[in-house]
Chains A and B, each alone.
Chain A
Amino acid sequence: MTMRRTLTISALVVGLGMIAAPALFGMFSRAPDGAVMIDDFRPFMTPEQVDLFRGYLTEIDAADTESRLVLEPALTQSGVVDPAEYRIKFASLVLLNESWPAIEADMTDLVDRMEDNLDSYAAVDALPNFKLFPWFFVAPGVLISAIAAAALIADRRGASTKALLRVLAGLGVAVVLAPAMFQMFERAPKGGDMIEDFRPMMTVERVQAVQGYFITMGAAEGQLRNGALPLAAESGDLPLDQFVAISQFSEDWPEIVIEFAPMIAAMSDNVDNFAAVDALPPFAMFPWFFVAPGLLVVVLAILSERRPREYLGIENVATI
């Protein structure tokens, strides 16, 4: 076998490798899962939405503080209800008061992670659709393989392979340049950063914890609105206008539920999708998955083209 054929066969193998890579990495199933996740998070990954969520947390914090420092003392010290009875009658409110620091810390962490990754999300969202990713390997792989095979056939027939090898080199250059064209060197590492940051929040346990927070908050809000404030009003000595934060919390609660519920849904529905994306090779390596085989094809095509047609071994004997 000639060195020229060996080089062309190597290029063919590189092409076949590109075709096989998506299947080897499970990209045909994982990349579409990633596309779904990117789509589902789009409504929430904006500065406005992050500010909205942060504002709600501030509002709930104020209501919690007011219920602990103003409402409870007002009701218990005025004799409307004794402290022990308060804890029984408003058990859900007391639960919120006791667990709010942990809830706030955890929810704030979620919002922080979202805010920290707004740019990264935007970068990933600007990449070509994840569903197409496997085909970015398969399509050039097929072309490279086909042209390398054609060059081998032409070589065997003694025809010129110069044009085919130049096309092959051109294809290699295109594959090398593709990541730069799609700004993958900048965007892919940001996607990697986002995956790192989202990993702690995209688990079943974390999602269920957040679901539980809303039960705690919702039950407390109901007791404030249906129990504690009416009791204060009934007493006659506790004007409701001193409970500004609580009133605001109750007024906005339906809106809070409506705004947060889809975000929790996005988290819940994408735990598996996140795991699929997380199982892909590191995002930062993706540009090199194009550059490396592309360069290899270029070098192989150029070397092959420059090699003279030498006849060795069996083929040489046969020619003689």
Chain B
Amino acid sequence: MKNHRFRLVVAALAATALLAGACGDDASGVAAADTTTTATPQSTDSTATTVATTTTEAPDEPVVVPKPSFEGELSGLFSIAAASCADTEVTGSYFRMLQPGGSLADGPFVPNTDSTCVDPSFTPLLPGSDGGFVSGGFQPAPVPPFDADGNGLAQSVTAPTPFFGVAFAVSSEDEGAAPLITATDGTLTGELSGWTANYANLVFGQGTPKPDGSLPGLTSELSGTIDPATGAYVLDWASQIVGGSFNEFSGIWHLEGEFAAAG
């Protein structure tokens, strides 16, 4: 009996809400919908799917089920969370350099004695002035890209990072397609062909795939995950250097942070 009354009250309230929504303006309609959806302020797709519910005996009421957030092509800022590596466990974003002939899992890695990590094979990354990298756009290096000592000057993606006495700087150069990250059920894939490390007056294409679409040597495809609700992401890839003074060395990039959709 008590349950029956409760259902009647709920049905009456729902009917009132629907009537109010129908009579109100667009803004109030959105407001009404917002009350029934999970807050997804950074969703790339704000449309929601309305489905009928059969879980109540009250008249069918629309229940708005949010589509997974951060689904499809992600256009916006992938902020870079600074690394924490004061002990042997490293969290956050970092870079490692694999020596020729090594394996991505086991090394040998180049020990960067400018690293603040306990394990100097990890070089911590700090966010740059933009806070991270932009998917869907470029963040080129300034002109000139180096100072007199060969330190890279780009600082929008990451802060210039000391490496063997010289700072490398990351930029996202127009080497073809713009950075493109796609989320599918929480899994990230995509292209970062223009990811570039500027170091010691030298420019290293460190993206994946390479601008010509190839994956030479140990270069791996971009892989990662994203939390559909929070935008917390992890991205990993390796990019083997082809030619030059670091021929066959591979850069291993691990980025963590949060994604924020553009606009």
Give chain A's interface residues, CB within 8 Å of chain B: 92, 207-208, 211-212, 215, 218-223, 225-227, 250, 253-255, 257-258, 260-265, 268-269
Contacts and interface: CB of A to CB of B under 8 A. Distances in A.
A215 B244 CA distance: 15
B166 interface: yes
B247 interface: yes
A265 B166 contact: no
B110 interface: yes
A222 B112 contact: yes
B86 to A, nearest CB: 16
Contacts of B165: 218, 221-222, 225, 250, 253-254, 257
B164 A222 contact: yes
A269 B248 CA distance: 11
A265 B248 CA distance: 12
Given A211-B246, A268-B247, A258 B110 contact: no
Nearest to A261: B245
Contact of B202 (A211, A215, A223, A261): A261
A252 to B, nearest CB: 10
A226 B245 contact: no
Contacts of A226: 113-114
B111 A219 contact: yes
Contacts of A225: 165
Contact of B111 (A92, A258, A261, A265): A92
B110 A215 contact: yes
A35 to B, nearest CB: 17
A268 B243 contact: yes
Interface in B164-215: 164-166, 200-202
Given A218-B164, A257-B150, A258-B200, A207 B113 contact: no
Contacts of A254: 149-151, 165-166, 200
Contacts of A220: 113
A263 B201 CA distance: 13
Given A219-B111, A263-B245, 13 more contacts: A208-B100, A215-B99, A219-B112, A219-B113, A225-B165, A254-B165, A257-B150, A257-B164, A257-B166, A257-B200, A262-B245, A264-B245, A265-B247
Interface in B206-263: 243-249
Contacts of A208: 100-101, 248
Interface in B104-119: 110-114
A285 B248 CA distance: 37
A255 B244 CA distance: 18
Contacts of B200: 254, 257-258, 261
B150 A211 contact: no
Given A219-B113, A254-B151, A257-B150, A269 B243 contact: yes
A215 B149 CA distance: 19
A98 to B, nearest CB: 16
Nearest to B108: A215
A279 B100 CA distance: 27
Contact of B149 (A92, A255, A260, A262): A255
Contact of A207 (B112, B201, B202, B247): B247
* B100, B113, B151, B249: most-surrounded residue (chain A CB, <10 A): B113
13 contacts: A92-B113, A208-B101, A215-B99, A215-B110, A218-B113, A218-B165, A219-B120, A222-B164, A225-B165, A254-B200, A262-B245, A264-B245, A269-B247
A268 B243 CA distance: 7
* B112, B120, B150, B164: most-surrounded residue (chain A CB, <10 A): B164
Contacts of A263: 245
Contacts of B112: 219, 222
Interface in B127-173: 149-151, 164-166
Contacts of B100: 208, 211
A253 B163 CA distance: 12
A215 B200 CA distance: 14
Contacts of A257: 150, 164-166, 200
Nearest to A268: B247
A288 to B, nearest CB: 36
Nearest to A266: B245
B152 to A, nearest CB: 12
Contacts of B245: 211, 260-265, 268
Contacts of A255: 149-150
Nearest to B244: A265
A261 B203 CA distance: 12
